[in-house]
Amino acid sequence: MALSRGLPQSKEALLKSYTTRLKDDVKSMLENFEEIVKLAKGENDTQLSKMTQSEQDTYEMHVRAANIVRAGESLMKLVSDIKQYLILNDFPSVNEAITQNSKLFRTKQAECDQKLKSLRDDMAADLYDLEEEYYTSIYK
Amino acid sequence: MTAPMERIQVLDSIEKDIITCLQSAGQALIELSKEKSSLKQAESQTHQFLKTLGHVESKLTEQINYLTQVSTGQPHEGSGYASQKVLQMAWHRLEHVRSRVNELERIKNKHLQGRALLRPQPQLTQSQQNGTQPVGSATGAGTTG
């Protein structure tokens, strides 16, 4: 907890909200699944007629199944938010990515300049021969 | 796999686990809804649903704890622009050299074409054929020089 004291309130609240969302969604999925399985038992001692009770149970199962799917989608959104937060605020990873990219670019630049230098040396050697030929010819 | 991508890969696998979780729950309920339902199958699907859900929760909690430890609340001001600019300038140097070499190639080809046109002249004198270069090529060289 001492580490989290350095965070501004908004970031701390945001991370806490992620934890809350996670717990709520997992709890919702578990509870709704459990209730559907309980409804599938089909208890006979009810005050309503069988038809009405089965209609009610069907409707309740539909609603609970929709709740499970909603909780799953909410978890997917949470993962997406965590990915976004990670890209923006995970400094060790961002620093490493920047260092790697810088290294790659500088390596490519060094290769490029090395090739240009060797090309320059080759052309200078050829130019020497060409100049010698030209200045000893009748066209100078 | 680099460390920045590893965490994103872990989150991708968590997403797949959530989908697997929902599928297992669906399969368990389909199994229960059959006329001749296999209890063993329903139990194994339910067990898989519970296991995957626990797995998802623990992994996400781990990610959130890591973020609590490393985030500072300040925006990251690092940039790869300097090295990017250096590479871009090297690329410009390369393109400049390429354009100059292409220009030399063009001049060379033009000169060779000019010589090829002038070479088959039926009225060359005997002295010109003996060793010295023909006059036409001098004018050709003069124009390209």
ipTM of this complex > 0.90?
no
pTM above 0.90, yes or no: no
Taking CA atoms, what residue in A is nearest to B16?
Answer: A76
Same domain for B72 and B84?
A: no
Same domain for B72 and B89?
A: no
Give the per-residue pLDDT at B124: 52
Sequence-separated (6 or more) residues with CB below 8 Å from residue B57: A22, A26
- Decide if B121 is inside a domain: no
Give the per-residue pLDDT at B24: 95
Same domain for B9 and B72?
A: yes
Same domain for B85 and B66?
A: no
User: What's the CA gap between A131 and A17, in Å, rounded?
Assistant: 77
- Chain B residue numbers touching A103 (CB-CB < 8 A): 83
Last residue of a domain, one of B57, B76, B95: B76
Summarised one tens digit per residue, pLDDT across range B82-111 is 999 999 999 999 999 999 999 999 999 999
Q: How far is B122 from chain A (nearest CA, A)?
A: 25
Rg of chain B, C-alpha, whole Å: 39
Last residue of a domain, one of B76, B98, B128: B76
Same domain for B9 and B70?
A: yes
Q: Coil, strand or helix: which one is B102? A: helix
Same domain for B43 and B102?
A: no
Last residue of a domain, one of B50, B76, B102: B76
Which H or E run includes A109? helix A91-135
Q: How far is B109 from chain A (nearest CA, A)?
A: 17
Same domain for B99 and B36?
A: no
- Decide if B57 is inside a domain: yes
Same domain for B14 and B67?
A: yes
Identify the band that residue B37 occupies on the pLDDT scale cut at 50, 70 and 90: confident
Whether B86 contacts chain A with CB within 8 A: yes
Of A19, A94, A119, the CB nearest to B78: A94
Question: Alpha helices, DSSP H only, in chain B?
Answer: 3-33, 39-70, 81-118, 126-130, 135-144
- Decide if B42 is inside a domain: yes
Q: How far is B53 from chain A (nearest CA, A)?
A: 7
Same domain for B84 and B57?
A: no
Instruction: Please tell me the total count of domains within chain B.
Output: 2
Owning domain of residue B52: 4-76
- Decide if B127 is inside a domain: no
What does the DSSP assignment read for A33-101? HHHHHHHTT-----SS-HHHHHHHHHHHHHHHHHHHHHHHHHHHHHHHHHHHHHHHH-HHHHHHHHHHH
Assess whether pLDDT exceeds 60 at residue B1: no
Summarised one tens digit per residue, pLDDT across range A50-102 is 889 989 999 999 999 999 999 999 999 999 999 998 888 888 888 888 999 99
Same domain for B72 and B42?
A: yes
Same domain for B97 and B67?
A: no
Q: Closest Cα partner for A31 from A70, A59, A1? A: A70
Same domain for B8 and B64?
A: yes
- Decide if B138 is inside a domain: no
Whether A48 contacts chain B with CB within 8 A: no
- Decide if B33 is inside a domain: yes
